[in-house]
Structure 1
Amino acid sequence: MNHVTIVICNYNYEPYLAAAIDSALAQDYPKTDVIVIDDGSTDGSRAIIEKYGARVSPIFKENGGQVSAYNHAIEMLETEYAIFLDSDDILYPNAVSEVMQLFVDGDWAKVQFRLDVMDGTGALTGAYVPNTETRPDCGKLLLRGWLYPSPPASGNAYRVSALKQIFPVPAAGINRYGADFYAIYGAALTGPVASVSKSLGAYRVHNAASSSVSFANSEHITKAPRAFSMRWTILRTIAKSRLQVELPPTFHDFGHEKARFCSSVYRATLLTRWRWMMRDSSGYLHAIVANPFWSLQKKLGALVLSSLCLVPYSPLSDFVVRYIANPLARRRVAGR
């Protein structure tokens, strides 16, 4: 039986850390090891980790950011498979067993699975991510610049040998965070990706309000496009130097374009909304119309919804932006 390591990267998440560790230790797959990397927390995280004794392997390091923590973990990993669990998320008890069934049956570089969305208190919201499954050959689409639908960090299990072809990643300056970007998309350049079409864990959204335009935790909606562009440039350099793979200068991703769309038209005047749609929406519309992962029905639905942002009634326009940006807004409407 293959060994699997669950790596929990933590920085100042004392209120959630124990739940993450407990979920890792509760896996029904017997050959599961747990490593907890604390990235220089200044809260009570260290005391929580130490309470688990020999049940986990603790690593306490100076604060260097998420990329630094991933670099450190991947360098020292001895098992062939690993899951990187964010310290505010949890895994369900069968998560490792489910992904290992796929790894054993195929030569996958990565196995991804859905995550239920929970709010800051741990209550499930009824939403899940991602809403679209990827294709096994998503690496070929990456060569054309298409980022494939993936769950956040905690919803991915990797073949460690694939990660070691991508990491270490530069960890200085503004690239301290976003390590999961390099793991998610870098792994797909080394081999096929499998998807589990059911939830095997839960992803905590701290601003879990259906009335908000923001959904992701990691970056403000106006900063996300710039961060993604920088990471793509770094991934291109890594792919060329280590894998001899040439990625295009630009990429296509609805999540990235959605952030641009929302930051440009949300609560904007009618003139601003029309101006953006007429002059600056080409990337956004291309990410819908040419999206290789979406059905025709989904593409048409996104186009119709987006067009409603041009109506003179601003409350409707703002509602549509929230509906497009935030899965919780969609769940609320569906539940009415």
Structure 2
Amino acid sequence: MSKDLQASIIINNYNYGRFLAEAIDSALSQTYPNTEVIVVDDGSTDNSREIIASYGDKIIAVLKENAGQTSTFNAGFRAARGEIICFLDSDDVLLPAVLEQAASFFTNTNLIKVHWSLWIVDAHSRKTGALKPPHTIPEGDLLDLVIRDGPDSAVWSPTSGNAWSRQFLEKVFPLPEVEKEFGVGSASADAYLSMLAPLFGHIKRIEEPQGFYRLHGQNDHSAMSFDKKLKRDLQLFDHRSAILSKYCQEMGVNVEPDKWKENSWFYRLHLATEEIAKLIGQKTFILVDDDAWMMDDSDNRSVIPFLERNGQYWGAPSDNETAIRELERLRQSGANFLVFAWTAFWWLDFYSEFHYYLRTKFSCVLENERLVIFDLRAEL
């Protein structure tokens, strides 16, 4: 793709004045020469609009009443002129060369998306050492994957980790604005786009992280309890599943939405939490999940992450001895059960001595494709 073609960075913002300038500056600092920066403010009540005004004609400001994140995507896309479109959350930051790198791949006319991972940082822009997503993101022709597995076919980059072809976006915009229907501020418009993208073309991955994804505990998702998030995610999965099925049918592609649901992350998690509630109830349990579930103590649960420090997830143990020692420490402190989630089943092979210790000392009271649970209350 020629550098004569336009690129647009669309920043969506709602009450993130404390982060907004950093996001705008990262967009204005792009090395790609023909880039416009659009800031869509969704009815903020903080100092966001003063910050937006301070940039003058360096940016295109779109000021609107509050209607949710998806509405900012729609408003921003209407204002954008670019052939390459990047949506940027206002609490995130892009590295300067990301659009230049992404644009170099769009010489392939069948390419509709370039994506990359992001470094996770805290509210003070300090790296945590983790990536979002944590694993390698897919690339290439992913049509068969989406047809087989549905909306949850892969772990995609979040909003700020994608550059889109306008040719693709024009086929799926405007996006359905369902935030009010589900009572949330964000309906994960990025997930909606990522789900549909493989139906229309190929995807390319930039190998190195190209920005910063901020965790600060004050966004729409962080403010919700685990149970409310899961309920919302189940509703959104059903919504996206229906839309994906409709697009596939219109393209003459046969799909099996019931299998999508059966294999979906959120429905597996829903079944697993029901099994835990039935077996463990309100008793304290240790959860080994690689911090994938983000489970909390809502709904009368008492859950301890493993490993933990001061009640917070601390990562995997360095060796079997550490795992055994930490288990016994928590057991002596009142933990009644040890729960392995499917996301951490690899522990059972990798920490083989720890696994043997559990099998020979405690009763395994549940074992299926979602969970392995040991009763720690009495030794064999």
User: Do both proteins adopt the same fold according to a TM-score greater than 0.5, normalized to the shorter chain?
Assistant: yes
SS in 2 for 1:29: coil
The answer to whether structure 1 residue 232 and structure 2 residue 241 are counterparts is yes
Q: Which runs of 5+ in 2 are unaligned?
A: 283-292, 294-342, 351-368
Partner of 1:81: 84
SS in 2 for 1:22: helix
Shift of 1:188: 2.1
Shift of 1:239: 5.2
Pick from 94, 109, 112 the counterpart of residue 112 of structure 2: 109
The answer to whether structure 1 residue 192 and structure 2 residue 230 are counterparts is no
The answer to whether structure 1 residue 248 and structure 2 residue 252 are counterparts is no
Q: Residue 25 of structure 2 aligns to which amino acid in structure 1?
A: D
* CA distance 1:262–1:87, change in 2 (3 Å): farther
Q: Which runs of 5+ in 1 are unaligned?
A: 209-214, 274-283, 285-297, 315-336
Q: Residue 197 of structure 1 aligns to which amino acid in structure 2?
A: E
Shift of 1:15: 1.1
Pick from 94, 104, 125 the counterpart of residue 97 of structure 2: 94
SS in 2 for 1:230: helix
Pick from 311, 317, 323 the counterpart of residue 374 of structure 2: 311
Partner of 1:182: 192
Deviates more, 1:82-91 or 1:178-187: 178-187
Shift of 1:260: 3.0
CA distance in structure 2 between the aligned counterparts of 1:171 and 1:18, rounded to whole angstroms = 27
Q: CA RMSD in A?
A: 3.2
SS in 1 for 2:104: helix
* CA distance 1:41–1:194, change in 2 (3 Å): same
* CA distance 1:71–1:39, change in 2 (3 Å): same
* CA distance 1:98–1:171, change in 2 (3 Å): same
CA distance in structure 2 between the aligned counterparts of 1:103 and 1:160, rounded to whole angstroms = 11
CA distance in structure 1 between the aligned counterparts of 2:64 and 2:257, rounded to whole angstroms = 35
Shift of 1:17: 0.7
Comparing both chains, which one has the higher relative contact order based on Cα–Cα distances under 8 Å and sequence gaps of 6 or more?
1
CA distance in structure 1 between the aligned counterparts of 2:163 and 2:255, rounded to whole angstroms = 24
Number of residue-to-residue matches in the alignment: 283
Q: Is the 8 A contact 2:139 2:203 kept in 1?
A: yes
Deviates more, 1:299-308 or 1:192-201: 299-308
Q: Is the 8 A contact 1:163 1:186 kept in 2?
A: no
Alignment of 1:11-30 (within 5 A): 11-30=14-33
Deviates more, 1:172-181 or 1:14-23: 172-181
Higher strand share: 2
Higher helix share: 1
Alignment of 1:181-330 (within 5 A): 181-207=191-217, 217=222, 220=226, 221-223=229-231, 224-238=233-247, 240=249, 247-250=255-258, 251=260, 255-257=265-267, 259-260=269-270, 263-264=273-274, 268=277, 270-271=279-280, 301=346, 309-313=372-376
CA distance in structure 2 between the aligned counterparts of 1:32 and 1:262, rounded to whole angstroms = 46
Q: Is the 8 A contact 2:119 2:209 kept in 1?
A: yes
CA distance in structure 2 between the aligned counterparts of 1:82 and 1:312, rounded to whole angstroms = 52
Deviates more, 1:170-179 or 1:185-194: 170-179
Q: Is the 8 A contact 2:105 2:204 kept in 1?
A: yes
Shift of 1:185: 1.4
The answer to whether structure 1 residue 132 and structure 2 residue 136 are counterparts is yes
Q: Which protein has the larger Cα radius of gyration, Structure 1 or Structure 2?
A: 2
CA distance in structure 2 between the aligned counterparts of 1:134 and 1:262, rounded to whole angstroms = 27
CA distance in structure 1 between the aligned counterparts of 2:71 and 2:110, rounded to whole angstroms = 28
Q: % of aligned pairs identical?
A: 33
CA distance in structure 2 between the aligned counterparts of 1:11 and 1:107, rounded to whole angstroms = 34
CA distance in structure 2 between the aligned counterparts of 1:157 and 1:206, rounded to whole angstroms = 24
Shift of 1:270: 4.8
* CA distance 1:171–1:135, change in 2 (3 Å): same
